[in-house]
């Protein structure tokens, strides 16, 4: 009998694969993974506090109850899913036999997970992709049709159903992602070793919790971001006030005072020269003042809305008057900074205080009855868990917790794309100013954060006239100053429908516009970029659908429209002011010191 031929090395059928190197890398991956799991188990054993701080179990129980009570909807969804899967099997078999077949389902517009050619050209990967999409879509559609869920419950269930579907996408696993398989074979598994190193580094940076790195550290505040020339002219425990240097010989007499959100740092409106909103405003001839909120520690745990009104808005108004001699600047509030500004305007109206000439709101809400997906994080169980977490941290919410909630709103872009890039492909993230800013988090004072979530998101007290500050009941109908409301069509944090509701709350003249894109790009859209569009309706309307039907579409940035509105409210032109010209002395260079304080 002829001797049996030796078994061929598995790597012979995989060109370019070095079997020994691949084996070494897989051994390294196994050892590091084992240690990672042991460390994770040890951390879980020491973990205190609520097991389910997001109350996901409550949403899933509501889903299970509704499915049990609405068998017809469940059966219809299952039947439709099974029919679609059978159609997919038939079309895949036809392709494998050399025929052609149209796709049963396609990724949604803007879904970038399946852009590799293999997801279309390879029958196996195409089947995996389409079967996943059919299942994910069927889950979401069933949630939308189930009886027995009120709208808030339906929103929470739909949100967490989407999170589940996104997490289990085939792109997130090495064996079902063609890009990862290709990289693994090309590098003999070195990508997975590097990916584990990246994962361990992110856990170490997060002090035991995963802190996904979204951007390379190629930025320094004040050097290549937040570089518009200016000075710090005032500082207290809540904020620093920046006054920017003029870029024109003459400026409008009435200055502009901006209150950004304290949930993030202010330099989203001063990233780089080409997309800096601040630099553009200075170039239009405005004297720009901007509040840089403190990154709070335990000393400010009991600071609330009233403190941010007194030591934030009122202190800034006093400082601007000392610097310019003008007692009533035009003001801007962005996101939660806009909610604070609206609340303060209602307080001032009750007190007959006329120190604000006009108010502009960027992506800011006052009526939270349709507040978008952030509402899923606000129920009593979650608020109690949040309070327990802040108590354990000395009265502040770590910045990473707030960032995690925002990242979940766009999980595929802000979580899973980096899981694939950093951990499966073993790459380093690219330097990206917006994502660097997104990761540069701030802490939240306990009283301020809980009162905001309860008064606005949970009880909608500001819109209902039930909210109080410093003993004054707030009524937005008493606010008579001119108001400009900017919203964005794709904003999931402050939806345009929600922002529009403010048109029915303020008591003075209101201009409302909708910009293209979302919460950030919808606001930060310089005219030179020639991107997106915006809609106006000079006739107005009582509801958003009627407003949309009568709206006019304009190409490009909405900034010139606002400038035209604002300039009419900004007085005559005068010689340009420089920081330090008035009664306030320069305390240092912009962007100041508060913005450079890091937080976990």
β-pair partners for 573: 252
| 406 three-state secondary structure | helix
Nearest to 357 by CA among 479, 502, 487, 503: 479
Tokens 């879509």 belong to residue: 137
For residue 94, what is the enclosing H or E element?
helix 71-96
* Burial of residue 245 (number of CB atoms within 10 Å: 0-12, 13-18, 19+): middle
Contacts with 366 (C-beta within 8 Å, 6 or more apart), sequence order? 338, 339, 342, 462, 463, 476, 501, 502, 505
- Which residue blocks in 457-553 are alpha helix, DSSP H? 496-500, 544-549
Q: How far apart are CA 310 and CA 449, in angstroms?
A: 17
- Spatial CA neighbour of 296 closest among 436, 455, 446: 446
What does R_g of the chain's alpha carbons equal in angstroms?
27
Which DSSP state fits 457? I
β partners of residue 487 = 514
Token pair, residue 206, equals 């997060």
Do 339 and 452 meet the contact criterion of CB atoms below 8 Å apart? yes
Catalytic, 335? Answer yes
47, 294, 389, 496, 524 from 444: Cα distances, Å: 22, 10, 12, 26, 24
Cα–Cα distances (Å) from 296 to 2, 262, 287, 311, 454, in that order, read 80, 10, 28, 14, 20
From the list 138, 268, 335, 551, the catalytic residue is: 335
Q: Which H/E stretch holds residue 59? A: helix 56-69
Structure tokens at 108: 């949604």
Instruction: Single out the residue of 209, 235, 273, 594 nearest to residue 440, CA to CA.
Output: 594
For residue 304, the tally of other CB atoms under 10 A from its CB is: 17
Indicate the DSSP class of residue 336.
H
CA neighbours closer than 13 Å in the CB half-sphere of residue 586 = 14
Provide the token pair at 591.
Answer: 């962007």
The torsion defined by the Cα of 278, 283, 285 and 289, in degrees rounded to 10, comes to 20
How many whole angstroms from its chain centre is CA 370?
17
Residue burial 174-206, b: 16+ Cβ < 10 Å; e: rest = bebbbbbeebbbebbbbbbbbbbebbeebbeee
Task: Please answer whether residues 311 and 239 qualify as being in contact, where contact means their C-beta atoms are separated by less than 8 angstroms.
Answer: yes
Task: Confirm if 368 and 457 have CB atoms less than 8 A apart.
Answer: yes
Measured distance CA(335)–CA(538) in Å, rounded:
24
Distance CA 26, CA 20 (A): 10
* CB burial of residue 380 (10 Å; 0-12, 13-18, 19+): exposed
Q: Are 480 and 398 in contact (CB under 8 A)?
A: no
How far apart CA 345 and CA 585 sit, in angstroms, is 28
Known catalytic residues? Answer: 335
């Amino acid at each position: 009998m002829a001797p049996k031929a030796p078994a061929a090395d598995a790597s012979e059928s995989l060109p370019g694969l070095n079997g020994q190197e691949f084996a070494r890398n897989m051994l390294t991956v196994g050892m590091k993974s084992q240690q990672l799991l042991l460390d994770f188990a040890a951390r879980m054993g020491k973990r205190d506090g609520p097991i389910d701080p997001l109350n996901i179990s409550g949403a899933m129980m509501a889903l299970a109850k509704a499915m049990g009570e609405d068998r017809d909807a469940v059966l219809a969804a299952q039947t439709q899913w099974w029919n679609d899967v059978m159609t997919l099997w038939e079309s895949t078999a036809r392709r494998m036999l050399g025929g052609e077949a149209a796709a049963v389902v396609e990724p949604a517009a803007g879904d970038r997970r399946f852009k590799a050619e293999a997801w279309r050209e390879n029958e196996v990967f195409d089947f995996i992709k389409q079967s996943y999409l059919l299942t994910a879509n069927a889950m979401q559609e069933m949630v939308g049709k189930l009886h027995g869920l009120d709208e808030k419950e339906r929103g929470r269930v739909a949100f967490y159903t989407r999170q589940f579907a996104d997490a289990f996408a085939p792109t997130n696993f090495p064996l079902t992602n063609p890009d990862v398989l290709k990289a693994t074979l090309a590098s003999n598994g070195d990508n997975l070793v590097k990916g584990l190193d990246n994962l361990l580094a992110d856990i170490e940076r997060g002090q035991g919790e995963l802190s996904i790195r979204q951007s390379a550290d190629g930025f320094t505040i004040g050097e290549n971001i937040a570089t518009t020339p200016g000075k710090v002219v005032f500082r207290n425990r809540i904020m620093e006030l920046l006054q920017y240097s003029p870029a024109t010989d003459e400026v409008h007499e009435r200055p502009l005072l901006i209150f950004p959100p304290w949930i993030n740092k202010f330099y989203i409106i001063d990233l780089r020269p080409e997309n800096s909103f601040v630099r553009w405003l200075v170039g239009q001839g405005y004297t720009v003042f901007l509040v840089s909120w403190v990154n709070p520690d335990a000393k400010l745990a009991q600071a609330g809305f009233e403190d941010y009104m007194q030591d934030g808005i009122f202190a800034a108004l006093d400082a601007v008057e000392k610097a310019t001699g003008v007692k009533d600047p035009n003001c801007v509030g962005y996101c939660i900074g806009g909610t604070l500004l609206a609340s303060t305007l209602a307080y001032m109206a009750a007190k007959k205080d006329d120190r604000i000439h006009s108010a502009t709101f960027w992506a800011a809400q006052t009526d939270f009855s349709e507040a978008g997906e952030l509402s899923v994080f606000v129920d009593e169980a979650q608020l109690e868990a949040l309070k327990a977490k802040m108590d354990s941290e000395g009265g502040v919410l770590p910045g990473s917790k707030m960032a995690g909630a925002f990242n979940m709103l766009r999980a595929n872009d802000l979580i899973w794309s980096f899981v694939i890039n950093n951990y499966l492909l073993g790459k380093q993230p690219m330097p990206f100013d917006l994502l660097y800013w997104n990761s540069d988090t701030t802490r939240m004072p306990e009283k301020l954060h809980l009162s905001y979530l309860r008064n606005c998101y949970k009880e909608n007290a500001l819109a209902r006239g039930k909210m109080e500050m410093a003993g004054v009941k707030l009524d937005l109908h008493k606010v008579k100053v001119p108001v400009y409301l900017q919203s964005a069509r794709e904003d999931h944090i402050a939806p345009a429908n929600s922002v529009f509701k403010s048109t029915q709350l303020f008591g003075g003249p209101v201009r409302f516009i909708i910009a293209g894109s979302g919460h950030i790009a919808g606001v930060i859209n310089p005219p030179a970029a020639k991107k997106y569009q915006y809609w106006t309706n000079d006739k107005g309307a009582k509801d958003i659908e009627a407003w949309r039907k009568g709206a006019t579409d304009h190409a490009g940035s909405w900034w010139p429209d606002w400038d035209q509105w604002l300039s009419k409210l900004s007085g005559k032109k005068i010689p340009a002011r420089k920081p330090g010209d008035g009664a306030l002395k320069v305390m240092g260079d912009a962007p100041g010191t508060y913005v450079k304080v890091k937080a976990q």
